[in-house]
Amino acid sequence: MNCRPCLPAYSRRRRPAAGGERSATRPLSPALRRAWRRLPLLLVLCLLPLGLSARTTAERHGWRLAVQSYTYHTVPFVDALRHTRSLGVKYIEIYPGHQLGGPWGKTAFGPETDRATARELARYALRQGVRIVGTGVLASDRDEDYVKLFRLAHDMRLSYVTCEPLLRQWPLVDSLARHYGLRVAVHNHPKPSLYWQPQALLDAIGKLGPHVGSCADVGHWRREGMSALDCLRQLNGRIISLHFKDIVAGEGGAKGYHDTVWGQGILDMPALLAELKAQHFKGYLAIEYEYHWGQADDEIRQSIDAFNAQCDALWAR
């Protein structure tokens, strides 16, 4: 068998001529030489968006802004991806019940989504420049819904599932998380949610591993009259992700409060971020903007700018 490597035609050497003289290697063409000289510049231009210079202070310290797709529940998920990318955000959580749109039409995402569709949806999002990192919030008394959603999350290579299990469902949820290598982030909807206050969550998960913790919705705590800062401190070491926001009193929101631009409401954003830093938090802070549905992109951009400015100041100390 002839095992000689197959070399490009311009670099192969011919057999020696009859007189023993060896022919010269065929030189690169002028076009190939120009392309070779430009290659380093092309590589730099392609890789620059991935370099450290393009990362925010928050990203350099392990904080990732995401969008909770419920922010755009009035439009299909494919449009939510477009909004997310236009904001400069690279990650998204998909909520069960979000109509997908695009090639999937009126089909909604959820436990009944078939596995092939789920995998293709994850690939579709990546092609749009956005990665689906989590799903939720799932709150169901049907055990099979948890089985199916965790399997889909694994198929889609998500990082975590956000949910509010019944107390009797914890052995199942814990086993699914361990089996699929997923984290569980428990959301704190207002009363009558089981986990509206931190101690209720700690009582439920105290004997479970660090893969189970809180999806800390700082706005809901304040709506229940609690200090969001004190709640974060109480959950030290058990925060998996956040639904981050700022709120003000007014109509159009839950329990008399609606979302507003971060830093312009009643929550102490610098103190909340400083506490997360003190806890060495690493993970996703999802933007869940529940006001001016479908028309809040400018407010969200202002919130992102405020977040980045606060993070710059926090790590400059």
Is the pLDDT score of 5 beyond 60? no
> What's the pLDDT at 83?
98
pLDDT by residue (tens digit) across 82-104? Answer: 999 999 999 999 999 999 999 99
pLDDT by residue (tens digit) across 178-201? Answer: 999 999 999 999 999 999 999 999
The predicted model scores a pTM of 0.83
> What's the pLDDT at 12?
40
User: 22 versus 297: which is more confidently predicted?
Assistant: 297
Is the pLDDT score of 38 beyond 80? no
pLDDT by residue (tens digit) across 137-178? Answer: 999 999 999 999 999 999 999 999 999 999 999 999 999 999
pLDDT by residue (tens digit) across 41-97? Answer: 444 344 434 443 469 999 999 999 999 999 999 999 999 999 999 999 999 999 999
User: 282 versus 50: which is more confidently predicted?
Assistant: 282
> What's the pLDDT at 22?
47
Is the pLDDT score of 35 beyond 80? no
> What's the pLDDT at 36?
59
Calculate the average pLDDT of the chain. 89
Mean pLDDT of all residues in 100-118: 98
> SS3 letters for the chain?
CCCCCCCCHHHCCCCCCCCCCCCCCCCCCHHHHHHHHHHHHHHHHHHHHHCHHHCCHHHHCCEEEEEEHHHHCCCCHHHHHHHHHHCCCCEEEECCCCECCHHHCCCECCCCCCHHHHHHHHHHHHHCCCEEEEEEEECCCCHHHHHHHHHHHHHCCCCEEEECCCHHHHHHHHHHHHHHCCEEEEECCCCCCCCCCHHHHHHHHCCCCCCEEEEEEHHHHHHCCCCHHHHHHHCCCCEEEEEECEEEECCCCHHHEEEECCCCCCCCHHHHHHHHHHCCCCEEEEECCCCCCCCCHHHHHHHHHHHHHHHHHHHHC
Mean pLDDT of all residues in 269-279: 98
Q: Domains of the chain by range and CATH?
A: 63-316 (3.20.20.150)
